Structures are given as structure tokens and as C-alpha cells.
Structure 1
């Protein structure tokens, strides 16, 4: 048995979102943002390393990863060197992180046309949809509690897109994979 089919066609992006929110949390002095995004960045890094280990097309993945990390470094250079005012830096970094998070939550809708055309939700993950709605709702509530519009507003699309995907799962139920066998325990 080969590992290739078990890997997704493209890896998760480098931990750019986690590192952005980690910087935002550090600048704001928010321990919860710091801890959660440190763990998230570490897990994303481990995922990328494991993916690269098994990936047959390392050159493409390395190029994508290097490009995103280059963009991340340019962003850090901008925020830490060209924006000396900490309050302005916090506002601009919050906006940057929000845009990145919103685009992350909207990305699964790229498969919307494929789902409607094929009348199949095979390309969508139900467990990931549940995790997304729970995570984005938690962060929305946390942002509301802190009265932080960057945290609150950037996570709201996660709730909306999750409910769109739930509707798609209801409208086009997934068929059981006939090639999958449960192991008897």
C-alpha cells in the first residue's frame, strides 16, 4: 500500500495565519491568542514537514511554501520596521490577519460549483465543517467578549460558510464508499 493516495492533493498553507495572529496576540498582550496560535503554528509546521517527507512532487510544494513564507517575511518587515506606532501596527496587523482568515474561511466555497454540478459532496469534509463551525463560533464569542472586531468579524464567515456546507450535505448526501471496509474489533 502506498501513502500517496492518503495525502491531500495540496498541502495546508504554511502557518501564516497562526503566525499573524500570534504576532497580533503578542502585540496586544493576549495570552490566549499567543498560546493557541503557537500550538497551531507548531502543528502546521509538523504537518508540512510530514507532507514534504511523503510528497512525490517536492519541488512544487517547496516553491509554494517558500513563496508564502516570503510574503510572511515581507509582512513582518512592514509591520515591525515601517509602522513604528504600536497602536497603528495593532490596527493594521489586525486587518491583515482578518483578511487572511476570511479568505481561509471562504476557500472551501471554491468547490461550490463542482458540488452543484455533480450533485455530490464527496469533495467536502463533514468533520472539517463541524470543526470549522465550532472553532469560528468560539472565536467569534471570544472576540465579542473582548470587544475586538478583528477577531469577531474575521471568524463570522466561518460560521456562514459552514452552514452553507451543512445545507449542501443535506441537499446532496454523501454516498458510502463501497471500497471502504470497517475493521472488526
Structure 2
């Protein structure tokens, strides 16, 4: 196998692993919603945008006949639909980061996973010289950097329900 083929296979594998990892970060939110029967620290928008993104990529994968794109995005679409359903089931109202000056409702792991996934897919698209893969992933990079900035500006506070023990 030539060097380019090995690199392409490796990069494709990295894209799949990061993408499935990103999709699975919602499982902790799902578990939290089920346990607390609320959405107090869970954001809806990432689920919705990822679902729309999955459906678009699923269509593109079907059009191109790319089994990797089809499988990865079918799994993602099913998981996002599950997360959205749970959110809508438990959601009485939404919290806002800027108004509350708190990022408690943001998932740091989802932010990092989205950044890594979007960067890896951009590199994959660049390697294939396929703008249809590169361009749709730039918003994921941009919004990840915006969320990282918000984490910096409004750091997540320690849980106030627990006080440090005096020694």
C-alpha cells in the first residue's frame, strides 16, 4: 500500500473515531436528563445543529456512495434524535449563558469533541480536495472557538451545594 493510501486510511479512521466520540458525548447529557428529570444544565442547540448536520452528511454520503459517511452519520442522526426527544420531554425552560454569565449549561467535552471532529473532517476534505467535506465543517470550528472563549470568559463554577470542610 502506498504512503498516501495509508495516510488516507489513517485520517479516515481518525475522522470516524472523533465523530463517533463526539456523538457519544450526548450520552452523559441523556443520563443526566433521565436521572434529574430536567434539562437544567443541558443545551438544546448543539443537538439540533448536529442532527441537521448529520442528515445533510447522510444525504451527501448516499449521493457519493461513501459507506463511511453513511454509517457514521446514520448513527449520529439516530443518537441526536434520541437526545432531542429526551430534551423535549424534560424541558420546562432554557438558561442563557450571557444573561446568567455562566457556562454551566455548556458541555466542555462536547466543545472539545466538536473542535477535534470538525478539524479532522476539514483535513480529510482538504486531503481529498473536496470542498463539500471541508466547508460545512468550518462552522463547527468557529462555534467551538466561540464556546471556548465563553468558557474562558464565564468559567464554570464549583457546585455550590458542597462546602469545603474546615480543618
TM-score, length-scaled by structure 2 = 0.58
**Correspondence list, 1:21-170, <5 A:** 21-51=57-87, 54-55=89-90, 114-115=97-98, 119-170=101-152
Q: Is the 8 A contact 2:42 2:107 kept in 1?
A: no
Other-structure match for 1:79 = none
Deviation at 1:9, TM superposition (A): 6.9
Pairwise CA RMSD of aligned residues?
Answer: 3.1
- Runs of 5+ unmatched residues, structure 2: 1-34
Is 1:174 aligned with 2:156?
Answer: yes
TM-score calculated relative to the size of structure 1: 0.54
The runs of 5 or more residues in structure 1 that have no matched partner are 58-110
C-alpha contact (below 8 Å) 2:41/2:105 kept by paired residues: no
Moved more, 3-12 or 27-36: 3-12
Shift of 1:24: 0.8
Deviation at 1:158, TM superposition (A): 1.6
Offset at residue 180 of structure 1 (A): 6.0
Q: CA deviation at 1:148?
A: 1.2
The match for 2:55 is 19
CA contact (8 A) 1:136 1:156 kept: yes
CA distance in 2, matches of 1:180, 1:137: 38
SS class of match (1:4):
coil
Q: CA offset at residue 136 of structure 1?
A: 0.7
